[in-house]
């Protein structure tokens, strides 16, 4: 067997260019005790936190599993924070929900219960429960502390658009595209009331003013409002005749009364896109597809009653002037404020671009609103709570990203800077800090970039055919040259670094020479381009390259061919035929021996540059968009419309590695001059930076890893779990995943090892032989007994997946597992909670088949006694520890209070002494 060829692995390094992603909402978070300064936004698979005061990125929260997985392309689509703003819940496009600690950035819990993207996410008032809604038409209630699912709310027939807690009544309210709003009881998890007040989809749902009002938005300009109150006992007692004659039986069974209060009319056109409330639920902001953000404040009962009385007083004055009798008018006898008395409009906010999301924080005098817009910018506004005040724009974050998709990238020659071109500007980024250093606005979308030697100037080709010479230090356009009649597709610097070659959509390739020109009315010299030659062709030019030995010019045309010319005379040399669709990009190796072409026909062709023969044809699964050689090697990278960035070897004609790519199309890619860094841009508006590591990569091992990932995808057979002896489908809050099946296999292996080891011990005792040695796997887990081994495996199971793991076990293993829990319950340990939880769940789910086994009855009685005893002991221990910590905390607070008082007294006495000394000096 020959020596295996090894490569060095490229890994994702950082992402940048995203200020705020349009597919994700935006929320205020609390850092360093400040709640109105920091804001969290989604950035593809990461969450980034901006400092609105300094316009600076302060934190990036990323999941390591998502970062290292090359086959999984998920993005953050929903964010929610706890009321104190210290924990952050993140919903992903694959239905996963993660919770993070904002102080440390660490992952707290993982919840998997949805089959499609998360569409709604919210915490309750205390931050102990989390509700998630998804496009799979279901909502799930999670216990954040215990890290387990509580209820799966199934009843909607459309996408769940919003989920809200009503903590006063222990309820959850959900809205959906099926036009219904449903009320759910958190104790039982059942729907007891449905509001059918909408004709079309319900897009937003908000709970206002101490859980008293429900405000919902639909496809029209009307925000329908309901008032919620608790049902009195007298109202709940109805006669049988009324019950039989009633059309709405659900209202009689509900514990709350929900009455239509009226509607709030929006000024903006179109449907409601999103809404948000502050932490006190007194201010509501709503926006549609336009640029207008509207604010409503819900006043307290006292202020609303005063408004009602003012309206009645004005009405009486007008009636008395007209000489009308106002005694019989029902309005004047009203004692309960109407919706117009409760709600007051604040000045609306008009933004520069379409609004995608908004969030707000209320202070004593102002409402601070942060808005994310579709052009990748954040705007921070302040609105006074007083009547008649205007809106003030405090800050705008826009320089840290392009307004639209990035189409082209380039590294500087020293690899310290990255240049990017979008539809509106060219930006220069610091590669280390990823901060935007320069921004140059352009009149047309940038199609190609080229860095002039010396890293002081850039050449940019525009869609209108102009060639820009940009001074990096000044951030200005020195010269704009009308190089081509149509779009300028490619710029390539000559190997001698004295000129460049451009190719355009006007079927020409032009040769340019760099020169210094003295400006008029000054002695300053600036860079310019002198046109030398023009090569006219029959078809539009897709891209062009010059061989490193400066002898040949390769041009890809729209007729699917690549024509090669001599560089000195522009005479035709050879044609490369074979592609069935146009070549989107090509590159030539450092030794001028190989040319590689990437085509829209999903193939890569490797050609010899001496005779034009095709060495190999490599097939991919998607249309290729760009291709680049790694300097000084025959290895190259490609990008395609599936978002993949792939590493290939042109010597062995094999794919080496697939890097984590983009969601959607990957537009372009650039390789640094030393080959250590790669940057790619795509349709998801993010620029990804990859780094070459010292980790060796073997092709056989990489293929084995890919096969393992493919097998894991097929591992979770079906989305539901069958229950032995019970219903065919059990509606658990969680769903069966790959990790739960792996955990079930690990638990089954543990039970088998324990059983075999105990059988071998009995066999050796009967034979009078010494006790057998511990199994190797128990030694690997660093345990001495079988009980410790089982407890270690139970602890390793993720808390949110424990129920799914137990349901995946066969019934025979369940019986043995329950028998093995007896010795675990005989000893006090910190793993008592998952042990008792496993026991209770198995008995609840499999009560009939377990109770039908005669041998299990004594075991069940013993487990009942032990579980009750140990649970009480553990509860007492936790309570004692809790109150001890509270006592210590109170003692420390008292000591700090006494210390502060003492310090203040001493400072006061010192000031009095200094005052007396001054008085004495004056008297003398």
pLDDT band at residue 67 under the 50/70/90 scheme = low
- Rounded Cα–Cα distance for residues 197 and 72 (Å): 40
552 in the same domain as 531: no
615 belongs to a structural domain: yes
Q: Do 417 and 477 share a domain, yes or no?
A: yes
Of the candidate ranges 578-587, 857-866, 911-920, the one whose mean pLDDT is the lowest: 911-920
Q: 425 lies in a domain?
A: yes
Whether the per-residue pLDDT at 225 is higher than 70: the answer is yes
Q: At residue 252, does pLDDT exceed 60? A: no
Check whether 245 has a pLDDT greater than 60: no
The predicted-structure confidence for 785-815, as pLDDT tens digits, reads as follows: 888 888 888 888 888 888 888 888 888 888 8
In a domain, 118, yes or no: no
pLDDT by residue (tens digit) across 10-54?
A: 999 889 999 999 899 999 999 988 888 999 999 988 999 999 999
Mean pLDDT of 176-190: 91
Whether residue 656 is found in the same domain as residue 770 = no
How many angstroms separate the CA atoms of 801 and 790, rounded? 17
Q: What is the CATH number of the domain that holds 632?
A: 2.130.10.10
Q: Taking CA 527 as the corner, what is the angle to CA 524 and CA 531, rounded to the nearest 5 degrees?
A: 135
Q: How confident is the model at residue 764 (pLDDT cuts 50, 70, 90)?
A: confident
Question: Is there a domain that residue 446 lies in?
Answer: yes
Q: How confident is the model at residue 844 (pLDDT cuts 50, 70, 90)?
A: confident
pLDDT at 1: 36
Q: Decide if pLDDT at 207 tops 80.
A: yes
Give a yes or no: residue 225 inside a domain. no
90 has pLDDT over 90: yes
pLDDT band at 729 (very low <50, low <70, confident <90, very high): very low
Identify the bridge partners of residue 555 per DSSP, sorted by sequence position.
544, 563
Q: Is the pLDDT of residue 251 over 80?
A: no
Q: pLDDT at residue 356 above 50?
A: yes
The long-range contacts involving 428-437, CB below 8 angstroms and separated by at least 24 positions, are 428/472, 429/16, 431/677, 431/689, 434/14, 434/16, 434/689, 435/400, 436/399, 436/400, 436/401
Regarding whether 505 and 584 lie in a shared domain, the answer is: no
Find the range with the poorest average confidence among 234-243, 263-272, 392-401: 234-243
Upper half-sphere CA count for residue 640 (Cβ side, 13 Å): 21
With 90 as the cut, is the pLDDT of residue 379 above it? yes
Mean pLDDT, range 849-859, rounded to an integer: 85
Same domain, yes or no, for 593 and 650?
Answer: yes
Query: How far is Cα 686 from Cα 24, in angstroms, rounded to an integer?
Result: 14
DSSP 877: H
| Residue 835 confidence (pLDDT) above 90 | no
Top-confidence residue, 155 or 5: 155
Shared-domain flag, residues 618 and 750: no
* pLDDT the model gives residue 92: 93
In the predicted structure, residue 661 carries a pLDDT above the cut 50:
yes
Map residue 331 onto helix, strand or coil: helix
Sheet holding 457-462, edge to edge: 446-451, 457-462, 466-471, 476-482
> Does pLDDT of 890 surpass 80?
yes
The mean pLDDT of 177-198, rounded to a whole number, is 89
Q: Averaged over 546-561, what is the pLDDT? A: 92
On whether both 672 and 549 belong to a single domain, the answer is yes
**Mean pLDDT over all residues of the chain?**
86
- Mean pLDDT for 538-564 is 92
Determine the 3-state secondary structure of 190 from DSSP: coil
Which pLDDT does position 239 carry in this prediction?
Answer: 41
In a domain, 815, yes or no: yes
Please, is 800 exposed, middle or buried when counting C-beta atoms within 10 Å of its C-beta (0-12, 13-18, 19+)?
Answer: buried
Examine residue 813 and state whether it is found in any structural domain, yes or no: yes
Residue 324 pLDDT class (50, 70, 90 cuts): low
Instruction: Give the Cα separation of 659 and 693 in Å (integer).
Output: 13
Q: Residue 709: pLDDT above 50? A: yes
pLDDT at 419 over 50: yes
Answer whether residue 720 shows pLDDT above 60. Answer: no
Q: Are residues 526 and 586 in the same domain?
A: no
**Higher confidence at residue 229 or residue 921?**
229
pLDDT (average), residues 413-425:
91
Q: Average the pLDDT over 116-135 and give the result.
A: 93
Residue 784 lies in a domain: yes
Q: Counting every residue, how long is the chain? A: 924
Residue 910's pLDDT band (cuts 50, 70, 90): confident
Provide the number of structural domains found in the chain: 3
| pLDDT tens track for 626-650 | 999 999 999 999 999 998 999 999 9
Residues 765 and 834 in one domain: yes
What's the pLDDT at 323? Answer: 65
Confidence of residue 84 (pLDDT cuts 50, 70, 90): confident
Claim to verify: residue 528 and residue 551 sit in the same structural domain = no
Q: Is 577 a residue whose pLDDT tops 70?
A: yes
Using the predicted structure, report yes or no on whether residue 743 has a pLDDT greater than 90: no
Domain boundaries, position 409 = 403-536
* Strand partners of residue 536: 508
Res. 501 pLDDT band, cuts 50 70 90: very high
* Residue 3: predicted pLDDT: 52
Mean pLDDT score, 323-344: 71
Same domain for 492 and 553: no
Close Cβ partners of 744 (under 8 Å, ≥ 6 residues apart): 804, 805, 808, 809
Question: Does 551 share its domain with 687?
Answer: yes
**Is the pLDDT score of 2 beyond 50?**
no
């Amino acid at each position: 067997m020959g020596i295996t060829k090894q490569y060095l692995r490229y890994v994702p390094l950082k992402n940048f260019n995203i200020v705020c992603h349009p597919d994700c909402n935006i929320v205020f978070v609390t850092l360093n005790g400040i709640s109105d300064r920091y804001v969290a936004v989604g950035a593809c698979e990461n969450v980034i936190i901006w400092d609105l005061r300094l316009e600076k990125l302060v934190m990036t929260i990323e999941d390591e599993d998502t970062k290292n997985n090359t086959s999984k392309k998920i993005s953050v689509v929903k964010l929610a924070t706890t009321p104190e703003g210290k924990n952050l819940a993140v919903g992903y496009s694959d239905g996963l929900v993660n919770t993070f600690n904002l102080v440390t950035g660490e992952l707290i819990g993982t919840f998997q219960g949805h089959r499609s993207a998360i569409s709604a996410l919210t915490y309750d008032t205390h931050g102990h429960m989390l509700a998630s809604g998804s496009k799979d038409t279901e909502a799930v209630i999670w216990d954040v502390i215990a890290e387990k699912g509580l209820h799966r709310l199934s009843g909607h027939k459309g996408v769940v658009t919003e989920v809200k807690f009503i903590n006063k009544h222990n309820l959850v309210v959900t809205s959906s595209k099926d036009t219904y709003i449903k009320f759910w009881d958190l104790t039982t998890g059942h729907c007891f009331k449905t509001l059918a007040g909408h004709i079309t989809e319900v897009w937003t749902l908000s709970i206002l003013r101490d859980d008293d009002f429900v405000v919902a938005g639909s496809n029209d300009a009307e925000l329908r409002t309901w008032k919620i109150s608790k049902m009195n006992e007298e109202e709940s007692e109805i006669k049988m005749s009324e019950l039989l004659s009633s059309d709405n039986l659900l209202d009689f069974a509900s514990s709350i009364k929900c009455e239509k209060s009226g509607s709030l009319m929006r000024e903006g056109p179109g449907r409601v896109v999103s809404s948000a409330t502050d932490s006190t639920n007194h201010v509501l902001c709503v926006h549609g597809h336009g640029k207008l953000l509207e604010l409503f404040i819900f006043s307290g009962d006292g202020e609303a009653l005063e408004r009602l009385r003012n309206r009645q007083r004005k009405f009486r004055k007008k009636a008395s002037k007209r000489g009308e009798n106002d005694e019989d008018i029902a309005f004047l006898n009203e004692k309960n404020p109407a919706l117009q008395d409760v709600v007051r409009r604040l000045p609306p906010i008009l933004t520069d671009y379409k609004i995608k999301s908004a969030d707000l924080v209320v202070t004593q005098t102002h409402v601070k609103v942060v808005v994310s817009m579709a052009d990748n910018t954040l705007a921070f506004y302040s609105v006074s709570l007083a009547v008649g005040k205007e809106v003030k724009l405090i800050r705008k974050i826009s320089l840290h990203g392009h307004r639209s998709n990035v189409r082209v990238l380039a590294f500087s020659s020293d690899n310290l800077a990255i240049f990017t071109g979008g539809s509106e500007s060219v930006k220069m980024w610091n590669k280390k800090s990823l901060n935007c250093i320069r921004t140059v606005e352009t009149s047309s979308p940038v199609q190609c970039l080229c860095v002039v030697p010396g890293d002081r100037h850039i050449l940019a080709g525009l869609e209108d055919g102009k060639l820009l010479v940009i001074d990096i230090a000044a951030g200005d356009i020195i010269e704009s040259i009308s190089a081509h009649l149509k779009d300028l597709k490619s710029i390539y610097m000559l190997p001698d670094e004295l000129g460049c070659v451009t190719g355009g959509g006007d079927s020409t390739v032009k040769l340019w020479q760099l020169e210094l020109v003295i400006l008029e009315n000054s002695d300053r010299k600036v860079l310019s381009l002198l046109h030398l030659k023009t090569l006219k062709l029959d078809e539009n030019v897709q891209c062009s390259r010059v061989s490193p030995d400066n002898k040949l010019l390769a041009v890809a045309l729209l007729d699917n061919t690549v024509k090669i010319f001599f560089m000195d005379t522009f005479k035709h040399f050879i044609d490369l035929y074979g592609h069935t669709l146009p070549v989107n990009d090509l590159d030539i190796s450092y030794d001028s021996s190989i040319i590689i072409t990437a085509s829209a026909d999903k193939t890569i062709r490797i050609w010899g540059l001496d005779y034009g023969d095709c060495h190999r044809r490599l097939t991919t699964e998607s249309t290729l968009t760009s291709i680049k050689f790694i300097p000084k090697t025959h290895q190259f990278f490609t990008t395609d419309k599936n978002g993949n960035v792939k590493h290939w070897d042109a010597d062995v004609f094999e794919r080496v590695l697939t890097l984590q790519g983009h969601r959607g199309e990957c537009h372009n890619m650039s390789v640094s001059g030393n080959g250590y860094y790669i940057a790619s841009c795509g349709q998801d508006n993010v620029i990804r930076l990859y780094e070459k590591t010292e980790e060796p990569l073997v092709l056989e091992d990489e293929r084995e890893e890919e096969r393992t990932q493919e097998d894991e995808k097929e591992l979770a057979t079906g989305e539901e779990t069958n229950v032995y002896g019970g219903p065919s489908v059990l509606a658990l809050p969680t769903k069966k995943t790959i990790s739960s099946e792996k955990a079930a296999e690990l638990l089954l292996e543990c039970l088998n090892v324990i059983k075999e080891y105990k059988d071998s011990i009995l066999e050796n005792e009967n034979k009078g032989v010494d006790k057998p040695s511990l199994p190797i796997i128990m030694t690997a887990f660093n345990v001495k007994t079988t009980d410790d081994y089982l407890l270690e495996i139970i602890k390793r199971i993720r808390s949110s997946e424990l129920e799914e793991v137990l349901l995946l076990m066969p019934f025979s293993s369940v019986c043995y597992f329950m028998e093995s829990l007896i010795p675990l319950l005989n000893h006090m340990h910190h793993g008592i909670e998952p042990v008792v939880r496993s026991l209770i769940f198995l008995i609840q789910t499999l009560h009939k088949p377990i109770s039908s086994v005669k041998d299990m009855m004594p075991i069940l009685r013993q487990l009942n006694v032990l579980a009750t005893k140990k649970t009480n002991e553990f509860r007492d221990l936790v309570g004692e520890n809790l109150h001890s910590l509270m006592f210590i905390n109170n003692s420390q607070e008292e000591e700090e209070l006494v210390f502060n008082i003492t310090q203040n007294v001493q400072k006061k006495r010192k000031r009095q002494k200094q005052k007396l000394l001054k008085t004495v000096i004056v008297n003398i």
